[in-house]
Structure 1
Amino acid sequence: MSDDAPSGVLAKALTVLQAFTVEDTTLGFAELQRRTEFAKSTLHRVLGDLVAARLLDRVQGRYRLSGLVFELGMRASVERGLLEVATPFLEDLYVRTHELVHLGTREGTEVVYVAKMGGHQQAASPSRLGGRMPLHATAIGKVLLAHAPAEEREAALRGPLERKAPRTVTNVDVLTRQLSDVLAKGVAFEYEESAVGIVCVAAGVFGPADEIVAAVSVTGPVHRFRPARHATSVRAAAAGISATLGRRAELRGH
């Protein structure tokens, strides 16, 4: 296949776009070359094409994702519909707990955070809106992993299981038992596993066919937040989102 075949062009463009992260929103040419490992001539061509297509902006010799990328992302039907339904429940959960509230979905072996709500006193969580964390290191991730298809769950458990903090669970047997508890109790807990100083409780959001589509969590600082005390509230919020998604699907069916 030639270097300019459609699949090659798309793959190169995607590699460049994925070089940007939640933390690194603006990158220079040298850093993009380091991250993509493209030849200079190839990278110049791909960057030129992306700027011409309005997928990248070039500002003072550096590059950033454009507003069009954000607009296209907001058109993603699953996340947009999910956010429309979930937002009132997330707001209620924040009012009830006054702690940091998350909504996350699964992509491969990672959580993608699609909503995050917190006040001035929110916990210092490593999560970022649109950012990712390993499934096994978060309460949301454990819920999503527990309800994932068996083959995908087993692949994730085969690892490697990255250690994000001293208390991250990387023992497969321990993690497997925790996932069984999630299925039995309907909630997952995290105790300083994604970062030192924070604890969390999460519950699953299910679609009309009883498939897992997301998870809701509340996170707080270890010195004041007791996750088990908020398990009922988190379950209720997740159940409310699930029920509303089900009603919407039923109306569409009619």
Structure 2
Amino acid sequence: MRWSAARDGCYRIGLRLWEVAALAPRGLALREHALPFLEDLSQITRENVQLAVPEGAELVFVERIAGTDAVPVLTRVGGRFALTATGVGLVLLAHAPAELQEEVLAGPIERFTPHTMTDPRTLRAVLADVRATGFAVSDRQVTEDALSVAAPVRDGRGTVVAAVSLVVHHPGAAPHALAPLVRTSARAISRALGATGGETLSGRPPVPGSPPPAG
């Protein structure tokens, strides 16, 4: 791995490190399958579209498409974020193992705005609702002018491996009108992941009798 030294004496990440990171199989394979559907969702809505994967008690954004005149967001490709605030984070946390959920809810929960949910009981109820409805809504929890709607992406075994979201301006946003669009994109990506010989992102075959990909 190589860092490049600038004339001011500071070190910056070089292209070699970027090349090595690009070899990560999970994010790369997922991005390749998802990108056409993310682009379609972006063209239809002209809003911000994001794709994230779980990474321990956080999430990592593996793709982001900025919409025309869309609300500014704090996320970037390769950036990490808390699971408790964003739409994609709530989806990933809702489908995480119970022990990870308890770890996240028991730890300090960062507040970004006055609307950020930090009460574990409230979050548990929200996570249950996400599992029941198939989508999550983050209403002004990261910035006070943005709302996001997210849905789960599943692999060939039916396991939630990622989440896709739309991030829109809060005033005038209609989450339940956006949810079908996001869920349709998430289901399309799920089908694409399950169509490559029925394998998961890790290359393991699906477990017999496992549920088919769904949004």
Asked if Structure 1 and Structure 2 have the same fold, meaning a TM-score greater than 0.5 normalized by the shorter chain, the answer is: yes
Secondary structure at 1:223's aligned position in 2?
coil
**1:56 is the counterpart of 2:14:** no
Secondary structure at 1:248's aligned position in 2?
coil
Q: Which has the higher contact order (CA 8 A, sep 6+)?
A: 2
Secondary structure at 2:51's aligned position in 1?
strand
- Which stretch has the larger CA shift, 136-145 or 126-135? 126-135
**1:76 is the counterpart of 2:24:** yes
Secondary structure at 1:250's aligned position in 2?
coil
Describe the superposition over 1:146-173 as per-residue Cα deviations: whole angstroms up to 9, x where unpaired.
Answer: 0001111111111210101111000101
Equivalence map 1:8-157=2 (5 Å)? 54-60=1-7, 61-157=9-105
Which residue number in structure 2 is paired with residue 161 of structure 1?
Answer: 109
| Structure 1: gaps (5+ residues) | 1-53
The normalised TM-score by structure 1 is: 0.76
Paired positions, count: 200
Which residue number in structure 2 is paired with residue 234 of structure 1?
Answer: 182
Q: Tell me which amino acid in the other structure corresponds to 2:144.
A: V
- Structure 1 vs Structure 2: percent identity of aligned residues? 38
**1:124, CA displacement in angstroms?**
1.2
Describe the superposition over 1:33-77 as per-residue Cα deviations: whole angstroms up to 9, x where unpaired.
Answer: xxxxxxxxxxxxxxxxxxxxx521111111011111110111111
- Which stretch has the larger CA shift, 237-246 or 220-229? 220-229
Q: Which has the higher helix share?
A: 1
Which residue number in structure 1 is paired with residue 209 of structure 2?
Answer: none
Describe the superposition over 1:111-158 as per-residue Cα deviations: whole angstroms up to 9, x where unpaired.
Answer: 211111123301111111211221101110000000001111111111
In 1, Cα distance between equivalents of 2:172 and 2:13: 39
**1:225, CA displacement in angstroms?**
2.5
In 2, Cα distance between equivalents of 1:249 and 1:174: 40
In 1, Cα distance between equivalents of 2:186 and 2:197: 17
Structure 1 runs (4+) deviating above 6 angstroms are none
In 1, Cα distance between equivalents of 2:93 and 2:58: 9
CA RMSD, 1 decimal: 1.3
The normalised TM-score by structure 2 is: 0.89
In 1, Cα distance between equivalents of 2:36 and 2:173: 23
**1:249, CA displacement in angstroms?**
3.7
The structure with the largest alpha-carbon Rg is: 1
Q: Tell me which amino acid in the other structure corresponds to 1:116.
A: R
Which residue number in structure 1 is paired with residue 165 of structure 2?
Answer: 217
